[in-house]
Amino acid sequence: MNKIKILFSLIFINLSFFIFSEPTAIELINKVDDTRGPGLSFSCNVSMISTEKKEVTESNVMKLLYKRQKDGANRALGYIFEPAEQKGRKVLLIGTDTWLYIPGSKKPIKISPAQKLSGNTSTGDVLSVNYKSDYDPQIIGEEKISGIDTYKLELVAKVPTVTYYKIVIYVSKNDFKPVKSEFFSKTEKLLKSAFYRKYQKIGSKNVAVEILIVDAIMKENLTIVSYSNFKVEDIEESYFNKDILKDINI
């Protein structure tokens, strides 16, 4: 009888350790990446509205096609519909390389992933959906953000060609959703902060569909990024080819 009690006690201790053990940095970054898209290959619409002192200064709408490579690297194509003067522009991301095609040009030009799309939003913010491929994660503490207990997850760039040198993400302890992110330059200067305001259940994943981005210096400069019309589908490889970017239609 005592042996049975001891056996059950050991099982309970092991289960308790499994259930209540702290997540690793890799597990957290995987959870964060899960909130950035409903699958490894999908399409959606992205709206970016920028304001200054509550007045709208810029508004952009883009169709996004995304597909993750076997090694985890990002591939994405953004087709701009609005504003009218930018309609037809295409932004292509392969790994950490980014190209912009402007209608009427002979070929696309290579740009930085930090190139602005709208207000505080860069091409890398929208097109790069998988942090794990570009950053090394480390849990550096815990903090309460807006009353929510979070893990403080630091991401440091693996290569210098990514959008930001460092990102700090505050991940909810309860459901592992990002609550807030901070984006830093190579000189450790805070560039902007992002607040994840709305999530939507798409398939088996809770995807962030509304993000508020605040400039670190001009705090009245805000950008709201909204995602809609998600469709999990196998995007054709031909969309991610800079040599035919001029002729690609969405």
pLDDT tens, position by position, 148-198: 999 999 999 999 889 999 999 999 999 999 999 999 999 999 999 999 999
Could you tell me if residue 183 is inside a domain?
yes
What one-character-per-residue DSSP string does 147-193 give? Answer: TEEEEEEEEEESSTTSS-SEEEEEEETTT--EEEEEEE-TT--EEEE
At residue 95, the 3 state secondary structure works out as coil
Cβ-contact 246, 79 below 8 angstroms:
no
Q: What is the pTM of this model?
A: 0.88
Q: Which single residue is written with the structure tokens 């950035």?
A: 36
Could you tell me if residue 182 is inside a domain?
yes
In whole angstroms, what is the distance from residue 183 CA to residue 73 CA? 20
In this predicted structure, what is the pLDDT of residue 3? 52
In this predicted structure, what is the pLDDT of residue 12? 47
Could you tell me if residue 211 is inside a domain?
yes
What is the DSSP-derived secondary structure letter of residue 128?
Answer: -
Could you tell me if residue 3 is inside a domain?
no
The greatest distance separating any two alpha carbons of the chain, rounded to the nearest whole angstrom, comes to 84
CATH code where residue 207 lies: 2.50.20.10
In this predicted structure, what is the pLDDT of residue 117? 87
In whole angstroms, what is the distance from residue 235 CA to residue 59 CA? 27
Cβ-contact 221, 119 below 8 angstroms:
yes
Helix (H) or strand (E) holding 6: helix 2-20
Tell me the one-letter amino acid at 200: Q
Could you tell me if residue 7 is inside a domain?
no
pLDDT tens sequence across 63-87: 999 999 877 789 999 999 999 999 9
In this predicted structure, what is the pLDDT of residue 142? 97
Could you tell me if residue 205 is inside a domain?
yes
Nearest alpha-carbon partner for 249 in 241, 237, 239:
239
Domain that holds residue 101: 22-247
In this predicted structure, what is the pLDDT of residue 20? 58
6-10, 98-102, 244-248: least confidently modelled range = 6-10
In this predicted structure, what is the pLDDT of residue 201? 96
Domains held by the chain: number = 1
